[in-house]
Chains A and B, each alone.
Chain A
Amino acid sequence: GQQVMQIPQYQHVQEGEDFTTYCNSSTTLSNIQWYKQRPGGHPVFLIQLVKSGEVKKQKRLTFQFGEAKKNSSLHITATQTTDVGTYFCAARYFGNEKLTFGTGTRLTIIP
């Protein structure tokens, strides 16, 4: 079946450092979404990327969609303790409107 690989699985950073998580697909994607799940919580939608090469920003978060629409990244600048959680990408393939979730990157912050 279609799979989207997400790396790294875990990331520990000092508060104030940057953080990046990546999602890769072997097949061209229709679009990709990003979700955040706080510890003990439920996934919450962050953003959707649709266009090739698209870049969107939300405050300290920068989301990118690759030119070939096979990969995406989420970059957080100057992490804060409120950024703690697991970040998931969710890919949508052409001809299959269901979302395929990545395995997630768990971010922990060292104060």
Chain B
Amino acid sequence: DAGITQSPRHKVTETGTPVTLRCHQTENHRYMYWYRQDPGHGLRLIHYSYGVKDTDKGEVSDGYSVSRSKTEDFLLTLESATSSQTSVYFCAISRGNDETQYFGPGTRLLVL
């Protein structure tokens, strides 16, 4: 498996609280992605990054922000968590945007 870690792996939080998920890679890949996975929807792209401080929105970006200050770290922030953001969040990396994506182990987030 590619060197990708996500933290935390599980989190329970309350509606209205801020939450930050971290993705860390040791592969020096340029591209990093945040997906959410929900039953019946497959994997949906939230945000992605194509370099340090270079990010763009995916198809479900509302309510989420990201930051990438170092090549190895990509942070996903829920400014004010809502119950609809209960999901499994996966980080992925790739060398190029048209290449294979390698996924991290995922973070299970429950918003009460």
Question: Which residue numbers of A lie inside 8 Å of B, CB to CB?
Answer: 1, 6, 9, 31, 33, 41-45, 48, 88, 90, 92, 97-99, 101-104
Please tell me which one of the listed residues A48, A92, A101 contacts residue B42 in the complex, with CB atoms under 8 A apart: A101
A18 to chain B: closest CB distance in Å?
23
Chain B, interface SS category: loop
Give me the 10 closest cross-chain CB pairs, A-B, nearest first.
Answer: A42-B103, A101-B43, A103-B42, A101-B42, A97-B97, A45-B100, A43-B103, A104-B42, A97-B98, A42-B106
Residue contact A98 to B48, C-beta cutoff 8 Å: yes
20 pairs across A/B with beta carbons < 8 Å? A1-B59, A9-B40, A31-B98, A33-B100, A33-B101, A42-B90, A42-B104, A42-B105, A44-B103, A45-B100, A45-B101, A45-B102, A88-B43, A90-B101, A98-B97, A101-B42, A101-B44, A102-B42, A103-B40, A104-B42
